[in-house]
Amino acid sequence: MIDWGAVRVGMRRHTIISRVNVRSFNLSLLLGAAVLAAAPVVLVATDAGARQPVDYVKKAAGAFKRDATVSSARIPAWLDNDGTVIKSVNASVLENDKHPMTIKDGVATASLVERKQLTWMAKMVAIPPQSKACTTVYLKFHDDFKPGDGGKLPGLSNTGMGRPVGRAKPEMVDGMPYPNSGWGGRKADGVHWSARTGFGGWTETIG
């Protein structure tokens, strides 16, 4: 006769042991990744003054590899579960964009077929002022997509360029002019900033 109580206890023990093994395996992976990450630092320490030129071919090739340093993050205490929509930005917002694309069934699709072309789509959309917000971006990188040297993807910002009128003029704050900034090498100025997203070609030191 089968003792089902004993079987259940045995299965539970097996599950616990498996979880411990998986955790140990993950820890080993993390330690291994840390050692690998530290290796270049150790290797270049003897020639710390020399700065290696950027190898863009290598960077582009590496763009398809998953970054081993990324692990799961905790949801911060300041972030509530709240899907209340502040603004829906549909593909139709790109209808007046100067960059060639097709818009069909709520999807904007653009192809860059020449090396000199740089921009798939560009549109600044104003949203009601918020101190906290999330944006969810739906994208498809088609099979012919190549990340090249890397590039930019949509994100939240406050550059000053989203103002409905007078966007070319500096904003006046406390009697001082604040030109559009926080993008394209224009430093954040205490008022303006941006938080776009990037693809491919990641490097920690970007100026």
Partner 1 sequence: MSIHSYFYANMDDGKIRHSRPLGSLKKGTWTAYVECLKLNTPGQADGGLFYATADDGPVLSENDIPWRDKDVPESMIREMWIDVFCGGTSCGPNPPGTISFAGATVTKGLPDMKDIKAEIARLNRQS
Is residue 185 a contact partner of residue 174, using CB atoms and an 8 Å limit? no
Radius of gyration over every alpha carbon of the chain, rounded to an integer in angstroms: 24
CB of 16 to partner 1, least distance (A): 24
**Subset of residues 148 to 177 that bind partner 1, contact rule: CB under 8 A:** 148-163, 171, 173-174
Q: Does residue 33 belong to the site contacting partner 1 (CB under 8 A)?
A: no
Q: Work out which of 47, 131, 166, 175 binds partner 1, going by CB under 8 A.
A: 131
C-alpha distance from residue 190 to each of 30, 125, 147, 180, 199 (Å): 38, 21, 32, 12, 26
Q: Identify the residue among 30, 118, 168, 169 touching partner 1 (CB under 8 A).
A: 118
Gap between the Cα atoms of 113 and 11, Å rounded:
57
HSE at residue 28, side-chain half, CA atoms within 13 A, is 6
Using the rule CB under 8 A, give the single segment among 14-22, 23-31, 47-55, 113-121 that binds partner 1: 113-121
Nearest approach, Cβ of residue 94 and partner 1 (Å): 7
Q: Is 56 in the site for partner 1 (CB under 8 A)?
A: yes
Select the residue interacting with partner 1 from 40, 129, 166, 175 (CB under 8 A): 129
Instruction: From 92, 201, 93, 195, select the one nearest 150 (Cα to Cα).
Output: 201
User: CA 179 to CA 76: how far, in whole Å?
Assistant: 32
Q: What's the CA gap between 101 and 94, in Å, rounded?
A: 9
Q: How many Å apart are CA 35 and CA 28, to the nearest integer?
A: 11
Query: Which x/- pattern over 57-96 shows residues binding partner 1 (rule: CB under 8 A)?
Result: x--x-xxxxxx-xxxxxxxx-xxxxxxxxxxxxxx-xx--
Q: Does 112 bind partner 1 (CB under 8 A)?
A: yes
Closer by beta carbon to partner 1, 17 or else 188 = 188
Contact 150/199 with Cβ under 8 angstroms? yes
Nearest Cα residue to 122 out of 202, 207, 196:
196
Q: Is 42 in the site for partner 1 (CB under 8 A)?
A: no
Residue range at the interface with partner 1 (CB under 8 A); choices 10-18, 21-29, 45-53, 130-138? 130-138
Q: Is 32 in the site for partner 1 (CB under 8 A)?
A: no
Q: How far is the CB of 31 from partner 1 (least distance, A)?
A: 19
**Binding region for partner 1 (CB under 8 A) out of 20-28, 30-38, 42-50, 126-134:** 126-134
Q: Where are the beta strands (DSSP E) in 8-80?
A: none
